[in-house]
Structure 1
């Protein structure tokens, strides 16, 4: 089984393909048909949660939305991931809130990146939506 972490954006992230950027991005166009995204630019992402959250905080502008999803391949390329919209997670980086099917939570304003990195921010069962509004 192979797991791929994907994000979808409204604008390309080519300016982040520089040597000093620690977050690796690979085009996810080959998987685009399999993914439940609504955004046009798809990338496969590597790195840990705190690094990814820091990237999003720097990359996203006011009003931006980024979607994230884990795609798991089983044998012969058959997807093991399923999309259950009722389990979707929404994270607002501006207001520092985390919302899942159980409720909405305010993150600590001083250590919100650490708080968020300890929560589930990606799933093979639903799309996570990051927003900055």
Structure 2
């Protein structure tokens, strides 16, 4: 029982267990420690808690549903320069693996619902590295 935010480390552990092609899976601290695109070990993924919003609770309920959004940033090699060329086959496969690991999976948290996908986009790239970010959401309960 807790009013704590959703534990994004649950998604990090799931990705580590389900996506063996990734050299590294880290959290927000590891992501923030990288100074430039060339500093990312590829392929890797980083799970970053984004935010939470109130869900709808039945009137008088002692629990409060919270909808958590979590980002997953994938760093992969990029051998193609220029707009549109940054979506390499390796990156497409990694995105698919992470999505397969998370979408529909129910984390072991109080009242958690299955993880759903909210969207994704290329975040940044250069001649050697591309970053792709997906956003996922999950509902859990805040309880006294």
Query: Same fold by TM-score, threshold 0.5 exceeded?
Result: no
**Structure with greater strand share of residues:** 2
**Looking at CA atoms only, which structure, 1 or 2, has the larger radius of gyration?**
2
TM-score, normalised via structure 2 length: 0.30
